[in-house]
Amino acid sequence: MTGHSLMKVLTIAATGILTATTTWVAAADITGPDVASWQHPGGGGINWFAVRAAGHQFAMLKATEGLDYVNPYFVSDSLAMRVAGVARGTYHFARPNLPPEPQAALYATVVLGQNGLLDLPAVLDLEDSAGLPPDALIDWTHRYLNTVQALTGRRPIIYTYPRFWQTAMADTNQFTSYPLWIADYRGNDQPEVPGGWPTWTFWQTTSSGDIPGIGGAVDINVYSGAQGDFGGYANIPFSGSGRGSS
């Protein structure tokens, strides 16, 4: 890349970040999709500028799964999100039949940290018990989260859905210190919150959303404000308000 081209990319990125920052301060609803390779039908790309222009301030991006899967679009989406000014959350899809520490290490290696500009904390996507009984799955989850927090320096987010937590995790309340991203598509005013959590941080409200710039149906999520100012939580510069907890 030439010096001129690099300067152009940096200028575009800075403009996107500053534009996003102005909108975040005034936004009443902080929303965003979560995406994986499924949102690249036929190998097509996502237009992250269109996503941002439609009012979505963040996106959750699948990074890894188990011990040997890396989303082939992770790097390109990460870079394009940065340039467009879309805050990036990244998640690992848990395979509890495999040891947690190497999975955490794979995830942390691929995402190269979650402490940069426009970065949300790491997410553990927990929706498959792999046949483990609750006590073993609870232990697996503690070990994974402890490892990821040590590697990224931020307290991770847990993604799950109510029925899974109530059954596979025996509705344990051992994880209430972690932010909760809950999937609940029943159309209620608030999602069902399992496991003794006092509140939710992100709510996946639908799996059939329609967002400009993304081909096909996509999950849509909303931020509750539980971790404080979104600008602080997502490491957005010049947000003009206090940092949320991490």
Three-class DSSP category at 91 = strand
In a domain, 127, yes or no: yes
The reply to whether 238 falls in a domain is no
Mean pLDDT of the chain: 88
Token representation of residue 199: 């509140």
Percent of the chain predicted with pLDDT > 90: 81
Structural domain contains residue 78: yes
Half-sphere exposure of residue 2: CA atoms within 13 angstroms, side-chain side = 3
Q: How many CA atoms lie within 13 A of 19 on its CB side?
A: 17
Among 35, 33, 118, which Cα is nearest to 82's? 118
Q: Tell whether the model's pLDDT for residue 26 goes beyond 80.
A: no
Tell me the residue type at 161.
Answer: Y
Q: Provide the pLDDT for residue 121.
A: 98
The answer to pTM > 0.75 is yes
In this structure, the number of other CB atoms found within 10 A of the CB of residue 144 comes to 24
Catalytic, out of 127, 128, 192, 229: 127
Q: What is the pLDDT of residue 241?
A: 42
Rounded to the nearest 10°, the torsion over CA 130, 36, 185, 231 is 110
In a domain, 242, yes or no: no
> Mean per-residue pLDDT for 171-179?
98
For residue 70, is it within any domain?
A: yes
Per-residue pLDDT at 60: 98
Residue owning tokens 């859905």: 161
In the residue annotation, 210 being an active-site residue is answered as no
Q: Is 127 a catalytic residue?
A: yes
Catalytic residue, chosen from 65, 77, 119, 125, is 125
Contact 50/213 with Cβ under 8 angstroms? yes
| Residue among 34, 65, 77, 184 flagged as catalytic | 34
Looking at the 3D structure of the chain, how many domains does it have?
1
pLDDT of residue 208: 95
Q: Kindly state whether residue 244 falls inside one of the protein's structural domains.
A: no
pLDDT of residue 238: 64
Share of the chain above pLDDT 70, in %: 85
Range of the domain at 187: 3-233
Return the CATH number at 103. 3.20.20.80
Q: What is the pLDDT of residues 136-174, one digit of tens each?
A: 999 999 999 999 999 999 999 999 999 999 999 999 999
First to last CA, the chain: 35
- Say if CB 220 and CB 204 are below 8 A apart: yes
d(CA 195, CA 171): 5
Q: For residue 34, indicate whether it is catalytic.
A: yes
- Residue of 234, 232, 54 lying closest to 242 (CA atoms): 232
- 10 pLDDT above the threshold of 90: no
Task: Assess if residue 239 is contained within a domain.
Answer: no
pLDDT of residue 20: 41
Helices (H), 35-86: 48-53, 74-84
Mean pLDDT, to the nearest integer, of 10-20?
44
What is the Cα–Cα distance from 176 to 169, expressed in whole angstroms?
A: 13
119 inside domain = yes
114 confidence band (pLDDT: 50, 70, 90): confident
